[in-house]
Amino acid sequence: MAAREKKLVGINIVEGKGLGKAYFVGRAVRQDSVVSISRQDIGNHIMLFNEIREKAKSDYRAYVKSFDGTSAFDTSILNVYEHILDDPAFIGQVVETISIKLFDLETSIRLVSSDFIKRFSAAGTSYFKERSSDMVEICEKLISYIHKDGDRKKSFIEPTVLVVLRAFTPSDILRYDKEKIKGVVSVHGGKTSHAAILARSYSIPVVSGIHNISEHIRPGDQLYVDADKATVYIRPAGSVISRFHEAEKKTVDLGKTLRKKWNRPVYTKDGIQIEVMANISLPEDVAQANNNGADGIGLVRTEYLLSNKKEFPSENTQVEFYRAILKGVGKKECVIRMMDIGGDKIPEFFEMPVEYNPFMGWRAIRILLERRDLFETQLRAIMVAGEKHNYKVMFPMVTTLMEWLEAKKIVKSVSKKLGLKIPECGVLFEVPLAILEMETFMKEIEFASIGTNDLLQYLSAADRNNPKVNYLYTPIEPAFLKILKTAIDVCKDNGKSISICGEMAGNPIYTVLLVGLGLKRFSVIPKNIPIIKEIISNISFMEAAESASHLPAIESSAGISRWIGRVNKRMAGEILEKIPLFE
């Protein structure tokens, strides 16, 4: 009899719905999900297999030497393990599974071990039954050694839901082919963590806050993630799956219609052009941005170039990375952000000091100014790749004007050495001290952008990844909106362009509000570009501005929320009703 459906309720992190088989990330237990590789990876996986076999044998020998003869433990079993590791049949089947079936090393070891275990168990004798448990030990021992086996992404053969027994990170998504990832279930995670931002940009629903996951979910279980309701269905009933497929079809159809319609610039009803650009992380994201009608790239998160890397990428590697992006962007504008290392984006190879609050510590431009080697390598790569392209460079976490002027000196120096034109440079305003003194930056920058995620975190003194203080993290606090309005006006008065590239800009609920505040340049996740453009095309810039002029009289976020509800209903009601399908 099939196991019954079970429901787990957690916290909504990234909206959406997804259906796939459970795959435990980084967990050395039996996996039913199969991971494929390309032919060019065969040699690397076989080489790794030989390396981890030798490591396992070495460890077992060390165990034998560690016993002084007084222990009751029979060390001869460790010698048996070594014989199994050298067994030509075992080695040959694993190599054959990798080479012919193109399964990754972990999958191959598990499949071959499972086959051995079944044969040992079927033999019926006590000796072979013992060998069955030995194979379990060997399998898990080898799997435990498989860490960071190359930088190439793994591909799932079937739709998969990642199960993470901790807070999920950007690397949990980036190390796999994202096309088959249909959801994430994790113990911890914040709505505006960088992992959540990444998942949202790839339309991967996420439910967090589910504890004791391994007690409820088994590897290979069918999971239906309904993040809109913060619910995970384990082994969902047929009726649930049917409803999912029906809704998915409507979502796909609506998405196709809007993408086709908005592969062009958008204007408000009274003729004001609003740019809707894309936030991306990888070269392959450019195609998605173009398909969704992006007017350009408003943010390239270059730190994701470091994901799953064992060392800082060479200048040539970085040049190819940026060239691939710029080639895809074509003649449109592309804003490349310098690496925002730190916070929850720490490369595996990078030695960071222990910090009690890393989001307010050594990160972004603070690291780059101290590590000039990293700073100049990235700048050189961007400038070389950017020659003859319409690109700009943006700097994160700038706090003071003096800090900015020091960074500009380095830009000028690198540009002079290369004999290339100095690119337009701008600041990502996400530190309160900087945005409150924005006027002082105006003569020294070419453009500005606002990172609402970190800015709101610092202004509210509320960790955006901490569910205990999540209620304080709201972008519709009256004081926060006043700061945004002032920043937009300062840039307008000084003839500087300004965009918002944080999560707030990509949320359709806030589109009318931001246009009302005077914003003419959005930078959002690619999939939301068509719906943002659809809303913009149905509102009047002057009407939105007139409505927003009443905001200073509203004294609470609850009041702002009611105002947004009324204005959205009046200006974009029919469109917003369709958004749950699209998301």
For residue 167, the model assigns a pLDDT of 73
Q: Check residue 499 and give its pLDDT.
A: 98
Burial string for 4-23 (b: 16+ CB within 10 Å, else e) reads: eeeebebbbbbbbbbbbbbb
| Confidence class for position 72, pLDDT limits 50, 70, 90 | very low
Cα-flanking dihedrals φ and ψ of residue 510, to 5°?
Answer: -100, 5
Q: Which residue has the tokens 């310098």?
A: 338
- Read off the pTM: 0.70
> Of 25-29, 223-227, 315-319, which gets the smallest average pLDDT?
25-29
- Is 120 in contact with 87 (CB distance < 8 Å)? no
Summarised one tens digit per residue, pLDDT across range 329-358 is: 999 999 999 988 766 556 665 665 555 666
**Which single residue is written with the structure tokens 């997804």?**
18
pLDDT value of residue 331: 95
**Could you give all domains of the chain from N- to C-terminal order, each with its CATH number?**
6-32+158-236 (3.50.30.10), 38-145 (1.10.274.10), 279-554 (3.20.20.60)
Q: What is the mean pLDDT of the chain?
A: 85
Give me the pLDDT at residue 71, please.
42
For the record, the structure tokens of 414 come out as 């690198």
Would you say residue 361 has pLDDT above 70? no
pLDDT given at position 243: 86
pLDDT score of 313 more than 60: yes
What local confidence, expressed as pLDDT, does residue 78 receive? 62
Largest separation between any pair of C-alpha atoms in the chain: 89
pLDDT above 50 for 410 = yes
Collapsing DSSP to helix, strand or coil, 525 comes out as coil
Q: What are phi and psi of 210, to 5 degrees?
A: -105, 115
H helices then E strands: how many in the chain? 23, 19
Q: By the 8 A CB rule, do 336 and 396 touch?
A: no
Q: With a cut of 80, say whether residue 310 has pLDDT above it.
A: no
Distance CA 34, CA 106 (A): 9
Pairing of strands 160-167, 181-188: parallel
Q: Which residues are catalytic?
A: 194, 501
Sequence-distant contacts of 312-315: CB under 8 A, at least 24 apart: 312/347, 312/349, 312/350, 312/374, 312/377, 314/377, 315/377, 315/380, 315/381, 315/384
Give the strands of the sheet with 160-167, arranged side by side: 6-9, 231-234, 222-226, 17-24, 160-167, 181-188, 206-208, 11-14
List, for residues 79-103, the tens digit of each pLDDT value.
Answer: 777 888 988 999 999 999 999 999 9
| Per-residue confidence band for 299, with pLDDT thresholds at 50, 70 and 90 | very high
Residue 263, SS3 per DSSP: coil
Q: Work out the average pLDDT over 525-548.
A: 95
Residue-by-residue DSSP string for 4-16: PPEEEE-EEEE--
In terms of pLDDT, which residue wins out, 229 or 154?
229
pLDDT at residue 267 in the model? 97
* The pLDDT of residue 172 is above 60: yes
The answer to which of 92-106, 539-553, 565-579 has the lowest mean pLDDT is 565-579
- The answer, yes or no, to whether residue 151 has pLDDT greater than 50, is no
Task: Please report, rounded to a whole number, the percentage of residues in the chain having pLDDT higher than 90.
Answer: 51
For 230-288, how does the pLDDT look when each residue is reduced to its tens digit (9 = 90+)? 899 999 988 888 888 888 888 788 888 999 999 999 999 999 999 999 999 999 899 99
> Chain centroid to CA 18: how far?
17
> Across the strands, what pairs with 400?
none
The pLDDT of residue 573:
81
Cα–Cα distance, 469 to 457 (Å, whole number) = 10
Q: Which residue has the higher pLDDT, 303 or 452?
A: 452
